[in-house]
Amino acid sequence: MASYSPKQNVLKIPGITAGLIKSLRPKQWTKNLIVYFALFFTINETWNASDMSDLIDMFIKASVTFLLFCVLSSGIYIINDLFDAESDRHHPIKKMRPIASGKLPIFIAWPVSIIMIFIGISMSFYLNHSLMFVSVIYVLSSILYSSIFRHVFILDVMLISTGFILRAVAGAVVLSVPISPWLYACTGLGALLIALCKRKSELLNSANINFVQRKTLSQYKTSLLDMFISIVAPSTLITYTLYTFTSPNLPSNHAMILTVPIVIYGLFRYLYLVHVRHEGENPEDILVSDVPLMLSILFWLIISTLILIMFRSNIQI
């Protein structure tokens, strides 16, 4: 029988801690920035750029919501890795994930994920009962995805899209502001596009072992995904374009349509990164590494902010 040495466990603690931090996927917290959409699009509606008192209060609420979704999503990521551990071991990159590689023990991963979800929902209850309702739906839909719908062809990408819409809804309910349905449509379609591009990159990168790495990949074909993307991409652009000049809460002079060329460039750039560079498997990396795409997002934010401040009147929806 091998002798027990306390030092052996002590030496594992830094590795477990590092594995836990990696499993939280802090890179993917950028997805939760969607909760700020409601704050951004209510410039000169529920708060005025010349009066920072309302903005500070709303910004704090939105930021706390961002944090709680980071906590919730990280808890979900751990659960997702627990469900995916076996298939991840067949993936050339994902096999290095802490749970799949054994660096993060299962008996630690489960309690941490449950505690994080409990903390996130508790935070939402403290902020707003409606926000708690949205948070619970987000958690349930995410768990359903991890346990069931990730194996269901087409519904898997649709449920991913739903998660992004719920983030946008959370940002609105915590501020008690109405948001145009067009914005939810743009968010959902954009998220669906990213999910489809992710599946295509997974299919290309997995090569002949796609049926082992993710069951639904055996049903997806590159030509079929290209067809889906060719439907969703223009739908996203058309929806955003219609939003810029039909939404009743945007400037009546339709100045927001000036942002459409920026969206077109950003969309084309993303499709280039997916189809030519095959970088769609990790969209969170693209958003923080591709300079042209980051600049297009920055220009969109600047121009949209100027338009909303200069031309939007204080109307009621």
Residue ranges of the domains in the chain? Answer: 29-179, 180-317
Residue 9 has pLDDT above 50, yes or no: no
State whether residue 290 is helix, strand or coil. Answer: coil
Average pLDDT over residues 259-285: 90
pLDDT averaged over the chain? Answer: 86
Q: Would you say 54 and 47 are in contact if contact means Cβ atoms under 8 Å apart?
A: yes
Report the pLDDT averaged over residues 226-231: 95
Tokens of 259: 């942002």
Mean pLDDT, range 225-241, rounded to an integer: 95
Query: For a pLDDT cut of 90, what percent of the chain falls above it?
Result: 50
Average pLDDT over residues 4-33: 73
In DSSP notation, 126-156 reads: HH-HHHHHHHHHHHHHHHHHHHTGGGSTTHH
State the pLDDT at residue 247: 84
Q: Of 184 and 70, which is predicted with more confidence?
A: 70
Q: What is the pLDDT averaged over residues 247-274?
A: 92
User: Residue 279 in 3-state DSSP?
Assistant: coil
d(CA 199, CA 214): 10
Rounded to whole angstroms, the Cα distance separating 84 from 302 reads: 40
Say if residues 241 and 257 touch (Cβ distance below 8 Å). Answer: yes
pLDDT band at 139 (very low <50, low <70, confident <90, very high): very high
pTM for the whole thing? 0.86
pLDDT for residue 39 is more than 60: yes
**Phi and psi dihedrals of 62, rounded to 5?**
-65, -40
pLDDT tier, 281 (very low <50, low <70, confident <90, very high otherwise): confident
| Residues 73-111: b if buried by 16+ CB within 10 A, e if exposed | bbbbbbbbbbbbbebbbbbeebeebbbbeebbeeebbee
- Is the confidence at residue 2, as pLDDT, over 60? no
Please tell me the distance from the alpha carbon of residue 163 to that of residue 231, in angstroms, as a whole number: 21
Lowest-confidence region among 41-45, 79-83, 86-90, 147-151: 86-90
* pLDDT band of 101, cuts 50, 70, 90: confident
309 pLDDT above the threshold of 90: no
Q: Does 283 score more than 70 pLDDT?
A: yes
Q: What is the mean pLDDT of residues 166-186?
A: 89
Task: Determine the pLDDT at residue 216.
Answer: 78
DSSP code string of 151-168: GSTTHHHHHHHHHHHHHH
Residue 103 pLDDT class (50, 70, 90 cuts): confident
**CA separation for the pair 312, 252 (Å, rounded):** 7
Check residue 5 and give its pLDDT: 42
The answer, yes or no, to whether residue 211 has pLDDT greater than 70, is no
Cα dist from 36 to 52, 104, 200, 223, 277, whole Å: 16, 33, 29, 36, 30
Euclidean distance between CA atoms 145 and 162, whole angstroms? 10
The predicted pLDDT at position 248 comes to 81
Rounded Cα–Cα distance for residues 306 and 290 (Å): 25
User: Residue 141: which of 119, 107, 169, 179 has the closest Cα?
Assistant: 169
Quick one: which of 64, 102, 108 has its CA closest to 86?
A: 102
Q: Is the pLDDT of residue 51 over 50?
A: yes
Class for domain 29-179, per CATH?
A: mainly alpha
Q: What is the pLDDT of residue 157?
A: 93
Helix axes 291-311, 260-275, angle to 10 degrees: 160
- Residue 317, pLDDT above cutoff 50: no
